[in-house]
Amino acid sequence: MKNFSAIKELLDNSTTFYLISVKMDSRYGYLNGHYKKIFEAQHGDLINQHYAITMHQEDMAICSEVSAQCFANPQQIFPATIRKHDGKGGYIATQWDYKAMFDQQGHPAGVFCIGYDITAFMLSSAALEQMEHIQSHVIRKPIANLLGLTELLHDHSLPLETQNIIEMIRTGVSELDEFIKPSKQKPFL
């Protein structure tokens, strides 16, 4: 638990990271200021309350599994994504690293966890996936159809004026297609 003391000192007043410890009886033993600010407003004082009070019921199994991994491999850190109640009927998506704690005699003492809010990231990722789907299926499909039609209509027996109109349509649709195709360039970050 010596390591946990140093981490507590570092992150006790963090405005970005949550730091908690959960005792062997599944009750909170420590909460940093950021965790208290976000979750005690809706649940009251969390010290000595069961950790599940703040989370989506389905995520309790994840916590149990990850905690078991920590004690089976005490030198390692294990990640978990957990949904926490936001106090408005929804959830905050959080990412955590778990590590087992042992007392001075080497007996299991609990788990400490460092986490942070990933809700904005998750929402942005979902929005990007939706935009990619729209681009791929809703926009590019009609463009491909128009390109195919202009190829079919490309007939030298048509009047020159009609051929010119078809070529202008083909050029415009090709330019639009090139603009909309997924970029193979490096991301801007």
Which domain CATH number covers 82? 3.30.450.20
Whether 111 and 18 share a structural domain: yes
Kindly provide the residue ranges of all beta strands, DSSP E only, lying in 42-156, ordered along the sequence.
78-85, 91-102, 108-117
Whether 33 and 88 share a structural domain: yes
Whether 111 and 156 share a structural domain: no
Helix (H, G, I), strand (E, B) or coil at 76: coil
Whether 39 and 110 share a structural domain: yes
**What total number of domains does the chain contain?**
2
The token pair at 175 is 């330019």
Whether 65 and 96 share a structural domain: yes
- How many alpha carbons fall within 13 Å on the CB side of residue 108? 17
pLDDT of residue 185: 53
Low-confidence ranges of the chain (pLDDT < 70): 1-3, 182-189
**186 lies in some domain:** no
**122 lies in some domain:** no
Whether 28 and 111 share a structural domain: yes
pLDDT of residue 137: 75
Whether 79 and 137 share a structural domain: no
Instruction: Find all residues with CB under 8 Å of 97, minimum gap 6, and list them.
Output: 77, 78, 79, 113, 114, 115
Its domain, for residue 133, covers 127-180
Domain boundary at 68, 96, 117, which? Answer: 117
